[in-house]
Amino acid sequence: MSIVTKRSSMTLFSDPRDHYSHRVRMVLAEKGVTVEIIDVVSGKEPEDLAEINPYNTLPTLADRDLALYEANVIMEYLDERFPHPPLLPVYPVQRALSRLWITRVEKEWSSRLDILMAGKGRETVLTKARKELRESIIAIAPIFAEKPFFMNDEFSLVDCCVAPILWRLKEVEITLPEKSTRPLHKYMQTMFERDAFRASLTETEMEMRE
Protein backbone atom coordinates (compact mmCIF):
# COMPACT_ATOMS: atom_id res chain seq x y z
CA MET A 1 0.00 0.00 0.00
CA SER A 2 1.40 3.39 -0.99
CA ILE A 3 0.00 5.07 2.14
CA VAL A 4 2.53 3.25 4.32
CA THR A 5 5.80 5.18 4.52
CA LYS A 6 7.38 3.86 7.71
CA ARG A 7 6.65 2.03 10.93
CA SER A 8 3.94 3.92 12.79
CA SER A 9 2.22 3.84 16.15
CA MET A 10 -1.05 3.86 14.18
CA THR A 11 -2.22 0.62 12.59
CA LEU A 12 -5.22 -0.06 10.39
CA PHE A 13 -6.54 -3.58 10.04
CA SER A 14 -8.13 -3.40 6.60
CA ASP A 15 -10.00 -5.72 4.25
CA PRO A 16 -8.41 -5.11 0.81
CA ARG A 17 -11.75 -5.78 -0.93
CA ASP A 18 -14.22 -4.10 1.42
CA HIS A 19 -15.65 -0.64 0.72
CA TYR A 20 -15.85 0.24 4.43
CA SER A 21 -12.10 -0.28 4.80
CA HIS A 22 -11.60 1.61 1.55
CA ARG A 23 -13.36 4.72 2.88
CA VAL A 24 -11.05 4.80 5.91
CA ARG A 25 -7.99 4.40 3.67
CA MET A 26 -9.26 7.34 1.63
CA VAL A 27 -9.41 9.54 4.73
CA LEU A 28 -5.90 8.51 5.75
CA ALA A 29 -4.61 9.30 2.27
CA GLU A 30 -6.38 12.67 2.17
CA LYS A 31 -4.82 13.57 5.51
CA GLY A 32 -1.39 12.26 4.54
CA VAL A 33 -1.26 10.17 7.72
CA THR A 34 1.60 7.76 8.24
CA VAL A 35 -0.02 4.44 9.11
CA GLU A 36 0.80 0.77 9.02
CA ILE A 37 -1.90 -1.00 7.02
CA ILE A 38 -2.41 -4.69 7.64
CA ASP A 39 -4.45 -6.38 4.93
CA VAL A 40 -6.75 -8.96 6.47
CA VAL A 41 -8.75 -11.48 4.49
CA SER A 42 -12.22 -11.94 5.94
CA GLY A 43 -12.37 -15.22 7.86
CA LYS A 44 -8.61 -15.20 8.50
CA GLU A 45 -8.40 -12.45 11.11
CA PRO A 46 -5.16 -12.34 13.16
CA GLU A 47 -5.16 -12.83 16.92
CA ASP A 48 -4.02 -9.21 17.36
CA LEU A 49 -7.35 -8.02 15.98
CA ALA A 50 -9.46 -10.06 18.39
CA GLU A 51 -7.45 -8.67 21.30
CA ILE A 52 -8.42 -5.07 20.55
CA ASN A 53 -11.83 -5.49 18.89
CA PRO A 54 -14.38 -7.71 20.65
CA TYR A 55 -16.33 -8.08 17.39
CA ASN A 56 -13.27 -9.01 15.31
CA THR A 57 -14.54 -6.77 12.49
CA LEU A 58 -12.89 -4.71 9.79
CA PRO A 59 -11.81 -1.99 9.54
CA THR A 60 -10.23 -1.54 12.96
CA LEU A 61 -7.85 1.28 13.84
CA ALA A 62 -5.26 1.03 16.61
CA ASP A 63 -3.74 4.33 17.68
CA ARG A 64 -1.42 3.77 20.62
CA ASP A 65 -3.70 2.62 23.48
CA LEU A 66 -6.90 3.41 21.58
CA ALA A 67 -8.75 0.91 19.40
CA LEU A 68 -11.66 1.95 17.20
CA TYR A 69 -13.96 -0.05 14.97
CA GLU A 70 -16.87 0.90 12.69
CA ALA A 71 -15.74 2.84 9.64
CA ASN A 72 -17.71 6.03 10.29
CA VAL A 73 -16.45 6.31 13.88
CA ILE A 74 -12.88 5.88 12.63
CA MET A 75 -13.33 8.49 9.90
CA GLU A 76 -14.65 11.15 12.28
CA TYR A 77 -11.87 10.39 14.77
CA LEU A 78 -9.24 10.84 12.06
CA ASP A 79 -10.85 14.09 10.92
CA GLU A 80 -10.64 15.48 14.45
CA ARG A 81 -7.22 14.00 15.23
CA PHE A 82 -5.74 15.40 12.01
CA PRO A 83 -7.75 18.57 11.34
CA HIS A 84 -6.12 19.55 8.06
CA PRO A 85 -7.63 19.36 5.58
CA PRO A 86 -11.04 19.31 7.32
CA LEU A 87 -13.41 16.73 5.86
CA LEU A 88 -16.56 17.82 7.69
CA PRO A 89 -18.10 21.31 7.46
CA VAL A 90 -17.38 23.75 10.26
CA TYR A 91 -20.97 24.79 10.97
CA PRO A 92 -23.29 22.48 12.97
CA VAL A 93 -26.13 22.47 10.42
CA GLN A 94 -23.85 21.50 7.54
CA ARG A 95 -22.10 18.90 9.70
CA ALA A 96 -25.45 17.37 10.62
CA LEU A 97 -26.51 17.30 6.98
CA SER A 98 -23.27 15.56 6.02
CA ARG A 99 -23.87 12.91 8.67
CA LEU A 100 -27.42 12.53 7.40
CA TRP A 101 -26.17 11.94 3.86
CA ILE A 102 -23.75 9.31 5.14
CA THR A 103 -26.65 7.59 6.90
CA ARG A 104 -28.67 7.62 3.68
CA VAL A 105 -25.75 6.18 1.75
CA GLU A 106 -25.52 3.40 4.34
CA LYS A 107 -29.21 2.55 4.16
CA GLU A 108 -29.79 2.92 0.42
CA TRP A 109 -26.46 1.97 -1.14
CA SER A 110 -24.12 0.21 1.29
CA SER A 111 -26.67 -2.37 2.42
CA ARG A 112 -27.34 -3.46 -1.16
CA LEU A 113 -23.70 -3.39 -2.19
CA ASP A 114 -22.88 -5.62 0.79
CA ILE A 115 -25.28 -8.26 -0.54
CA LEU A 116 -23.76 -8.08 -4.02
CA MET A 117 -20.14 -8.12 -2.86
CA ALA A 118 -20.84 -11.17 -0.71
CA GLY A 119 -22.33 -12.87 -3.77
CA LYS A 120 -24.24 -15.34 -1.65
CA GLY A 121 -27.89 -16.25 -1.50
CA ARG A 122 -30.53 -16.82 -4.12
CA GLU A 123 -30.17 -15.22 -7.53
CA THR A 124 -33.49 -13.46 -7.02
CA VAL A 125 -32.07 -11.70 -3.95
CA LEU A 126 -28.95 -10.62 -5.84
CA THR A 127 -30.97 -9.44 -8.81
CA LYS A 128 -33.26 -7.40 -6.56
CA ALA A 129 -30.31 -5.79 -4.76
CA ARG A 130 -28.61 -4.99 -8.08
CA LYS A 131 -31.77 -3.43 -9.51
CA GLU A 132 -32.48 -1.36 -6.38
CA LEU A 133 -28.91 -0.09 -6.11
CA ARG A 134 -28.76 0.85 -9.79
CA GLU A 135 -32.08 2.67 -9.68
CA SER A 136 -31.20 4.51 -6.49
CA ILE A 137 -27.92 5.76 -7.96
CA ILE A 138 -29.56 6.82 -11.21
CA ALA A 139 -32.26 8.69 -9.30
CA ILE A 140 -29.72 10.79 -7.41
CA ALA A 141 -27.39 11.36 -10.38
CA PRO A 142 -28.75 14.86 -11.27
CA ILE A 143 -27.53 16.37 -7.98
CA PHE A 144 -23.95 16.00 -9.19
CA ALA A 145 -24.60 18.77 -11.72
CA GLU A 146 -25.20 21.25 -8.89
CA LYS A 147 -21.94 21.03 -6.95
CA PRO A 148 -18.46 19.62 -7.65
CA PHE A 149 -18.68 17.16 -4.75
CA PHE A 150 -21.50 15.23 -3.09
CA MET A 151 -23.93 17.99 -2.03
CA ASN A 152 -20.94 20.18 -1.18
CA ASP A 153 -18.52 22.65 -2.69
CA GLU A 154 -15.66 20.94 -0.85
CA PHE A 155 -14.48 17.33 -0.66
CA SER A 156 -15.86 15.70 2.49
CA LEU A 157 -16.33 12.46 4.39
CA VAL A 158 -19.47 11.88 2.33
CA ASP A 159 -17.31 11.57 -0.79
CA CYS A 160 -15.11 9.09 1.09
CA CYS A 161 -18.21 6.92 1.54
CA VAL A 162 -19.62 7.37 -1.96
CA ALA A 163 -16.52 6.96 -4.14
CA PRO A 164 -15.62 3.41 -2.96
CA ILE A 165 -19.19 2.31 -3.74
CA LEU A 166 -19.11 3.78 -7.23
CA TRP A 167 -15.71 2.18 -7.83
CA ARG A 168 -17.29 -1.25 -7.23
CA LEU A 169 -20.21 -0.93 -9.65
CA LYS A 170 -18.38 -2.78 -12.41
CA GLU A 171 -17.42 -5.52 -9.95
CA VAL A 172 -21.11 -6.14 -9.14
CA GLU A 173 -22.20 -5.91 -12.80
CA ILE A 174 -23.95 -2.54 -12.64
CA THR A 175 -23.75 -0.18 -15.59
CA LEU A 176 -25.22 3.32 -15.64
CA PRO A 177 -26.82 4.96 -18.68
CA GLU A 178 -24.33 7.51 -20.02
CA LYS A 179 -26.81 10.17 -21.13
CA SER A 180 -28.97 10.46 -18.02
CA THR A 181 -26.07 10.15 -15.56
CA ARG A 182 -23.49 12.35 -17.29
CA PRO A 183 -22.87 14.58 -14.20
CA LEU A 184 -22.34 11.45 -12.11
CA HIS A 185 -19.87 10.04 -14.62
CA LYS A 186 -17.95 13.31 -14.47
CA TYR A 187 -17.93 13.11 -10.66
CA MET A 188 -16.69 9.52 -10.80
CA GLN A 189 -13.86 10.47 -13.13
CA THR A 190 -12.84 13.33 -10.83
CA MET A 191 -12.90 11.07 -7.77
CA PHE A 192 -11.06 8.18 -9.40
CA GLU A 193 -8.28 10.45 -10.66
CA ARG A 194 -7.80 12.11 -7.28
CA ASP A 195 -4.30 11.43 -5.92
CA ALA A 196 -5.55 10.33 -2.50
CA PHE A 197 -8.06 7.97 -4.06
CA ARG A 198 -5.39 6.33 -6.19
CA ALA A 199 -3.15 6.02 -3.13
CA SER A 200 -5.95 4.38 -1.15
CA LEU A 201 -6.48 1.52 -3.60
CA THR A 202 -5.28 -1.99 -2.88
CA GLU A 203 -4.15 -4.33 -5.66
CA THR A 204 -7.45 -6.18 -5.29
CA GLU A 205 -9.40 -2.96 -5.76
CA MET A 206 -7.35 -1.94 -8.77
CA GLU A 207 -8.32 -5.17 -10.48
CA MET A 208 -12.03 -4.39 -10.02
CA ARG A 209 -12.04 -1.95 -12.91
CA GLU A 210 -9.49 -3.54 -15.24
Coil/strand/helix, residue 37: strand
d(CA 187, CA 149): 7
Domains of the chain (ranges, CATH numbers): 10-86+201-205 (3.40.30.10), 92-194 (1.20.1050.10)
List all residues 6 or more positions away from 102 whose beta carbon is below 8 Å from its beta carbon: 72, 157, 158, 161
Q: What is the pLDDT of residue 37?
A: 96
Q: What's the average model confidence in pLDDT over 40-58?
A: 90
42 band by pLDDT with thresholds 50, 70 and 90? confident
d(CA 46, CA 13): 9
Instruction: Say whether pLDDT at 5 is over 50.
Output: no
Q: In terms of C-beta density within 10 A (0-12 exposed, 13-18 middle, 19 or more buried), how is residue 97 classed?
A: middle
126-155 tens-digit pLDDT: 999 999 999 999 999 999 999 999 999 999
Q: What percent of the chain has pLDDT over 70?
A: 96
Q: What is the pLDDT of residue 210?
A: 82
81-100 tens-digit pLDDT: 999 999 999 999 999 999 99
Amino acid at the residue 26: M
Coil/strand/helix, residue 36: strand
**Single pTM value for the model:** 0.93
Amino acid at the residue 180: S
Instruction: Say whether pLDDT at 197 is over 90.
Output: yes
